[in-house]
Amino acid sequence: MFSVLKPLPTDPILGLMAAYKQDTNPNKIDLGVGVYKDEQGNTPVLKSVKKAEAFRLENEISKSYIGLAGNLDYCQKMEQLLLGEHQALLANRVRTAQAPGGTGALRVAAEFIARCNAKATIWVTNPTWANHISLFEAAGLTVKEYPYYDYENKDLLFDEMINTLKQVPKGDVVLLHACCHNPSGMDLSETQWNIVAELAKDVGFTPLIDIAYQGFGASLEEDARGLRILANAVEELIICSSCSKNFGLYRERIGACSLIAKDSAAADISNSVMLSVVRSIYSMPPAHGADIVNTILSSTELTQMWHSELDEMRNRINGLRSLIKETLATKDIAQDFSFIERQNGMFSFLGINKEQIARLQKEYAIYIVGSSRVNIAGVSKANIDYFANAVAAVCK
Ligand code: PMP
């Protein structure tokens, strides 16, 4: 049976990671893979997570199944983190299932959408996180793109985006990145979120919010502002969240899929379908990550510790954005890189061509994916000059 298969290419980012590992150049820099790194280039376990794990080790009393929706306390904490004191919560219109990472949450959402409307098209930003496209297609949905990033002016194509979204048929789904757009770093302003929210209401599409970087842009609250604006405007909303980045829990696979329905009864029905989707994919989520997040968010002391660790990660990224812009400006380069400071989160497109990217890798051991997306957190005070000189050299 297996003999009919043809080999598939490996994911370009995974290939880049492997090549980076093998590179013996002591100056090598990895700007490819999307994980946060500290000044030393490490992705350490947060102190708040270590404390929560120690607590869990002492207090865990069973390894029995946790149920389809996972840890219900965790689900409730996530709803508060995402929505604050939102009226949808007070009206009991929200249902959440713990999921294996943001990816698992998105797959649950995709299957849920297919159960609502097997012919639904999901509209994604052009460009978007590559896995969006494959995971929605894997659930049988049609994927179409709407204009989003202006490569030329390093800005949003907002008018083009709105013009396309105006044509979206009622019953389709529009995916929006809540903050720290991956891969462009370009986010909607509050005014623009309001326009999109009005449009969703008028046109009748269902928004799906992917929030994988809450707290990495401006703050936990501000990064959730767009999704709360949407939740005010529409009756139905899907939110896929991830704790991979903001809690540094990448390999624990912890996220959530939240549904907001028009009323409490509709929320119960939607929840029953979401849980049946869960049952047919992975039955129940793993316990560890949810327990850690719940332990942190249940303790004032650990929450404060986590907030300051999250602030540190965000401040480092934002500081690096300014440092990259300033250092590149001191080099003899024609291009203007000031857009890097205006964008948010871990990623921006450097805006250099494939040949320049290949030279950075070959001649300077600087690893960047082919789209020129860079992980800002891979830069440090120690390597910024080496990086900027290399960029200047290949841009000449
Ligand atoms: N959405 C976006 C936009 C992402 O960038 C990522 C991670 N790269 C995810 C979802 C999924 O995150 P995870 O499955 O690792 O929690």
Domain map (residue ranges) of the chain: 11-45+302-395, 65-298
Closest residue to atom 10 of ligand 1, CA basis:
102
pLDDT tens digits, 227-239? 999 999 999 999 9
Write out pLDDT tens, residues 202-217.
Answer: 999 999 999 999 999 9
**How far apart are alpha carbons 73 and 184 in whole angstroms?**
34
Q: Any residues with Cβ below 6 Å from ligand 1, and which?
A: 34, 101-103, 129, 177, 182, 210, 212, 242, 244, 250, 255
65-298 has which fold?
Aspartate Aminotransferase; domain 2 (3.40.640)
Task: Report pLDDT digits (tens) over 112-142.
Answer: 999 999 999 999 999 999 999 999 999 999 9
Mutation choice for ligand 1 from 242, 245, 373, 376, CB with most ligand atoms inside 8 A: 242
In terms of residues, how long is the chain? 396
pLDDT digits (tens, 9 = 90+) for 240-289: 999 999 999 999 999 999 999 999 999 999 999 999 999 999 999 999 99
11-45+302-395 CATH choice from 3.30.70.141, 3.20.20.70, 2.60.40.10, 3.90.1150.10: 3.90.1150.10
On whether the pTM is more than 0.90, the answer is yes
Distance 211 CA to ligand 1 centre (A): 8
Cα pseudo-dihedral 173, 83, 103, 60, rounded to 10:
-150
With a cut of 90, say whether residue 14 has pLDDT above it: no
Beta strands in the chain (DSSP E): 29-30, 94-99, 121-126, 142-147, 149-150, 155-156, 173-177, 206-211, 237-242, 255-260, 347-349, 366-367, 373-375
Predicted confidence (pLDDT) at residue 218 exceeds the cutoff of 90:
yes
**303-to-52, 72, 247, 293, 370 alpha-carbon distances in Å:** 10, 18, 11, 9, 38
The predicted-structure confidence for 22-68, as pLDDT tens digits, reads as follows 999 999 999 998 999 999 999 999 999 999 999 999 999 999 999 99
What percent of the chain has pLDDT above 70? 100
pLDDT at 87 over 90: yes
Exactly one of 210, 223, 291, 306 is catalytic; name it: 210
**Mean pLDDT along residues 304-318:** 98
Of the candidates 198, 209, 267, which has an alpha carbon nearest to the alpha carbon of residue 238?
209
CA–CA separation, 129 and 132 (whole Å): 6
Q: What is the bridge-based pairing of β-strands 255-260 and 237-242?
A: antiparallel
The predicted structure's pLDDT at residue 9: 84
For the CA of 244, the nearest atom of ligand 1:
16
Q: Nearest 5°: phi and psi at 183?
A: -105, 0
